[in-house]
Chain A
């Protein structure tokens, strides 16, 4: 029995949807076994089933999209909950109070007096701009200078640094 010769790639209507990519001339010669196997396949029923499954899956994708929207519509993935930094923030504030206190002491050692405001520590190059409100943007450190000491505290917490003229201080006041 002679082999049935199928069209070569040249004769195929080449389009983007049907590519002759894996077929060369040799493979377009089909064997009897292949023809027999093709004859045994279901025809219309399989096509209908295929399109039914496709339809159901499109419906499933739409349903998934709707479900996902309904599930996560109230969730903000770009914002953290308020308690996210609550635990560590106390450590950060303690460290900032120590840091600002050190800067105040260095400023006083150089300039013979505590600065009138914390901004001066930034101007003097001892602190960086956001040190005086780190870790939050709103300014949280209150600085009060008095006599030979200062008070540095955070209004919404009990964290306070009270510094009077101490043994550690290198500066002494000269009577006018």
Chain B
């Protein structure tokens, strides 16, 4: 309790310290910026006189300076400001090129400076952050705060940047499916070896007199194989096999079996998810994200026009077109932005963004009085965004109302200090530098994409036919999975009523529940119990004989567990009844191997250049493989003690 109080007080103290630091840094930022030191014209903002040649000149200057071993951060800062004037938000190509130069620097200070400048060139993308983390880890391992923070910041951006997060989700999803399938096969293998004799024994118990165990096995085999042959479907036989085996399984084995059938029921849903994620590349949503967050040139604008023509009511496209029009800074296009923002019906999720764009356009046109109303509404709607407050600050400043302008700036700082810091770095007077537009959050565009129906690729359906055959239709997967789950659940209740046999932990043979009165409910089967527990009741020669026979069986079981652990990691655990651990071992080995062998995923992201280990995917893969192999080898070396099922019910 004392510890928790100390930790709480420490945490509160830390929070207060952080808040004080933030307030003081905010004050110093505002003082340094001297935002209200000079009067602002009420006239329309001029179009930028920066051209693409300016960017190119700055880039050449940077390369010349970088070749001398200097960071060239001033040139990159000017390049960034020029690019922003031209409407570039993120410049991944330039940022990655700078990262290439930075990665070659032998002096960490120079490398760090270059990477910091590169981050400003593509602030929304994770890749420069990851590259910086890798560089710092390699060249400046002691600077923990540099590589660890860069790594965390990279991940924070990775989960927010659509190109990355969609590809990564797809990668993890596909690899999860593959790993699940392989783990399921290992489980079925282990369960077949472990449970088939038990199922056959119990089946023999329920057969009429005259049938031997071997004959019952053949009958059970026929029940499993014949339907598959009739339907020409190996999958049908596999499913019947799993359902049969589930009758004598323990609770944890039954849970895994239930999971397999649940996965089967969800196959069409999984295929739909893969199709939706895979169709993001080249989709309308990707075009909108790139147009808003990268840059939109003439070809891009034409593409947006074509998309709008195809889908006139799509307001995501309309908003993006207005953003592109705003970035041109041309008075005629700004007028169009005001007109369309005002006249069109906007869905609630976009209304605040459209109002802010309208207000920013009015300020750019030199009409700060008209801009106050839409900007005020935008500020109320976009509670997390700094842009409306920043634009209000400009409007109040143009009206010479400095107190209101100062309040708006402080409010913007409270909402997003990083955005304000970035905003105040530039003192240029063009629409893209002087004002701030709130772009649609990437998550909104991702949701928009996910809500669109994708063309079915049939990637699972076509593979389904290979395993299930022509006669077991793909549409049967959900009912088959549902029926399997029902069998597992009913089997559980059946077992509660009619006790079934369980594998003996020593010899692996059936432990008959009818022997429980004689063994006192011991975990061993009757022969093992009489030999190893109450062996004193046997004649010594009979006991010696029994021990030799049962010992042979026990050693065979042990050898099989050890061998299977090496050949198919995880299946040895299944043989010992430790199914959850066995499933986890096979799954992590398969998942980790997929990450090691194909770290970039089935659909490779466009900006993941120069490394295979973005976000530590390959490292995670090696880690999972190592854990799985060590567990399997440890099991092979030390054996896995079989699970003791004390309660056959």
List residues of A whose CB falls within 8 A of some B CB.
8-10, 14, 16, 19-26, 46, 49-50, 53-54, 57-58, 60-61, 64, 67-68, 71-72, 75, 77, 80-81, 83-88, 91-92, 94-96, 98-99, 101-103, 105-106, 109-110, 125-128, 131, 134-135, 166-168, 170-172
Asked if A80 and B463 make an inter-chain contact with CB atoms under 8 angstroms apart, the answer reads yes
Q: Can you name 14 extra interface pairs (CB under 8 A) apart from A87-B456, A126-B610?
A: A9-B542, A14-B545, A19-B549, A22-B530, A57-B218, A61-B221, A80-B462, A81-B466, A86-B462, A91-B282, A92-B603, A96-B604, A109-B97, A166-B297
A98: contacting residue among B53, B214, B281, CB under 8 A: B281
Asked if A21 and B550 make an inter-chain contact with CB atoms under 8 angstroms apart, the answer reads yes
Within 8 Å of chain A (Cβ to Cβ): is B222? yes
B459: contacting residue among A21, A85, A166, A168, CB under 8 A: A85
Asked if B526 and A22 make an inter-chain contact with CB atoms under 8 angstroms apart, the answer reads yes
Distance (Å) between the CB of A41 and the closest chain B CB? 9
Chain B residues within an 8 Å CB radius of A92: 278, 602-604
Asked if B55 and A22 make an inter-chain contact with CB atoms under 8 angstroms apart, the answer reads no
Asked if A172 and B456 make an inter-chain contact with CB atoms under 8 angstroms apart, the answer reads no
B609: contacting residue among A64, A126, A166, CB under 8 A: A126
Segment touching A, from B88-96, B198-206, B382-390, B402-410: B88-96
Interface set, chain B 189-241, CB cutoff 8 A to A:
210-212, 214-215, 218-219, 221-222, 225-226, 229, 232, 234
Chain A residues within an 8 Å CB radius of B225: 64, 68
Chain B residues within an 8 Å CB radius of A67: 229
18 A-B residue contacts at CB 8 Å?
A: A21-B531, A21-B546, A24-B542, A54-B215, A64-B221, A64-B225, A64-B226, A68-B225, A77-B466, A80-B466, A81-B462, A95-B281, A98-B281, A102-B607, A105-B93, A106-B609, A170-B94, A171-B56
Kindly state the separation between the CA atoms of A171 and B456 in the bound complex, as whole angstroms.
41
Asked if B606 and A102 make an inter-chain contact with CB atoms under 8 angstroms apart, the answer reads yes
A128: contacting residue among B234, B299, B466, B612, CB under 8 A: B612
Asked if A10 and B541 make an inter-chain contact with CB atoms under 8 angstroms apart, the answer reads yes
Closest 9 CB pairs of A and B: A87-B457, A9-B542, A21-B527, A109-B97, A98-B606, A57-B218, A94-B282, A84-B462, A167-B297
User: Would A167 and B295 be within 8 Å (CB), given that A24-B542, A94-B281 are in contact?
Assistant: yes
Asked if A57 and B539 make an inter-chain contact with CB atoms under 8 angstroms apart, the answer reads no
Kindly state the separation between the CA atoms of A170 and B465 in the bound complex, as whole angstroms.
50
Distance (Å) between the CB of B329 and the closest chain A CB? 14
Kindly state the separation between the CA atoms of A19 and B538 in the bound complex, as whole angstroms.
14
Kindly state the separation between the CA atoms of A22 and B612 in the bound complex, as whole angstroms.
62
Asked if B298 and A83 make an inter-chain contact with CB atoms under 8 angstroms apart, the answer reads no
Within 8 Å of chain A (Cβ to Cβ): is B100? yes
B56: contacting residue among A26, A86, A102, A170, CB under 8 A: A170
Per DSSP, chain A at the interface is helix
- Of chain B, the residue at the smallest CB distance from A105 is B93
Interface size, B (range)? 35 or more
Interface set, chain B 523-561, CB cutoff 8 A to A:
526-527, 530-531, 537-539, 541-542, 545-546, 549-550
Chain A residues within an 8 Å CB radius of B94: 109, 170
Asked if B93 and A106 make an inter-chain contact with CB atoms under 8 angstroms apart, the answer reads yes
Within 8 Å of chain A (Cβ to Cβ): is B52? yes
**Residue in B93, B96, B282, B549 whose Cβ sees the most chain A Cβ within 10 Å:** B93
**Residue in B91, B92, B229 whose Cβ sees the most chain A Cβ within 10 Å:** B229
Distance (Å) between the CB of B308 and the closest chain A CB? 21
Distance (Å) between the CB of A43 and the closest chain B CB? 13
Within 8 Å of chain A (Cβ to Cβ): is B275? yes
Chain B residues within an 8 Å CB radius of A126: 609-610
Chain A residues within an 8 Å CB radius of B91: 170
**Chain B 446-465 near chain A by CB (<8 Å), digits 1 or 0:** 00000000011111001101
Chain B residues within an 8 Å CB radius of A24: 530, 537-539, 542
Chain A residues within an 8 Å CB radius of B609: 99, 102-103, 106, 126-127
Kindly state the separation between the CA atoms of A171 and B462 in the bound complex, as whole angstroms.
46
Asked if B215 and A168 make an inter-chain contact with CB atoms under 8 angstroms apart, the answer reads no
- Of chain A, the residue at the smallest CB distance from B546 is A21
- Of chain A, the residue at the smallest CB distance from B528 is A21
- Of chain B, the residue at the smallest CB distance from A77 is B466
Asked if B541 and A9 make an inter-chain contact with CB atoms under 8 angstroms apart, the answer reads yes
Chain A residues within an 8 Å CB radius of B527: 19, 21-22
Asked if B606 and A95 make an inter-chain contact with CB atoms under 8 angstroms apart, the answer reads yes
Chain A residues within an 8 Å CB radius of B604: 92, 95-96, 99, 131, 134
Chain B residues within an 8 Å CB radius of A71: 229, 232
Distance (Å) between the CB of B529 and the closest chain A CB? 9
A81: contacting residue among B229, B465, B549, B606, CB under 8 A: B465
Kindly state the separation between the CA atoms of A94 and B604 in the bound complex, as whole angstroms.
10
Within 8 Å of chain A (Cβ to Cβ): is B59? yes
Within 8 Å of chain A (Cβ to Cβ): is B279? yes
Asked if B100 and A106 make an inter-chain contact with CB atoms under 8 angstroms apart, the answer reads yes
Asked if A83 and B210 make an inter-chain contact with CB atoms under 8 angstroms apart, the answer reads no
- Of chain B, the residue at the smallest CB distance from A67 is B229
Within 8 Å of chain A (Cβ to Cβ): is B625? no
Within 8 Å of chain A (Cβ to Cβ): is B274? yes
Asked if B458 and A83 make an inter-chain contact with CB atoms under 8 angstroms apart, the answer reads yes
Asked if A170 and B530 make an inter-chain contact with CB atoms under 8 angstroms apart, the answer reads no
Chain B residues within an 8 Å CB radius of A172: 52-53, 56
Asked if B605 and A99 make an inter-chain contact with CB atoms under 8 angstroms apart, the answer reads yes
Asked if B278 and A91 make an inter-chain contact with CB atoms under 8 angstroms apart, the answer reads yes
Asked if B210 and A53 make an inter-chain contact with CB atoms under 8 angstroms apart, the answer reads yes
Distance (Å) between the CB of A117 and the closest chain B CB? 17
Within 8 Å of chain A (Cβ to Cβ): is B467? yes
Kindly state the separation between the CA atoms of A171 and B59 in the bound complex, as whole angstroms.
8
Chain A residues within an 8 Å CB radius of B298: 167
Chain A residues within an 8 Å CB radius of B600: 128
Distance (Å) between the CB of B156 and the closest chain A CB? 22
Kindly state the separation between the CA atoms of A92 and B91 in the bound complex, as whole angstroms.
24
Chain A residues within an 8 Å CB radius of B457: 86-88, 91
Distance (Å) between the CB of A1 and the closest chain B CB? 26
Kindly state the separation between the CA atoms of A108 and B519 in the bound complex, as whole angstroms.
80
- Of chain B, the residue at the smallest CB distance from A49 is B210
Kindly state the separation between the CA atoms of A99 and B606 in the bound complex, as whole angstroms.
4
Chain B residues within an 8 Å CB radius of A22: 526-527, 530
Distance (Å) between the CB of A56 and the closest chain B CB? 9
Kindly state the separation between the CA atoms of A127 and B298 in the bound complex, as whole angstroms.
28
Chain A residues within an 8 Å CB radius of B92: 102
Chain A residues within an 8 Å CB radius of B232: 71-72
Chain B residues within an 8 Å CB radius of A110: 97, 100-101
Distance (Å) between the CB of B12 and the closest chain A CB? 47
Distance (Å) between the CB of B507 and the closest chain A CB? 9
Chain A residues within an 8 Å CB radius of B605: 95, 99
**Chain B 75-114 near chain A by CB (<8 Å), digits 1 or 0:** 0000000000010000111101100110000000000000
- Of chain B, the residue at the smallest CB distance from A10 is B541
User: Would A9 and B56 be within 8 Å (CB), given that A84-B463, A102-B92, A128-B612 are in contact?
Assistant: no
Chain B residues within an 8 Å CB radius of A168: 93, 295, 297
Distance (Å) between the CB of A153 and the closest chain B CB? 15
Kindly state the separation between the CA atoms of A113 and B281 in the bound complex, as whole angstroms.
27
Distance (Å) between the CB of A53 and the closest chain B CB? 6
Asked if A167 and B539 make an inter-chain contact with CB atoms under 8 angstroms apart, the answer reads no
Asked if B59 and A109 make an inter-chain contact with CB atoms under 8 angstroms apart, the answer reads yes
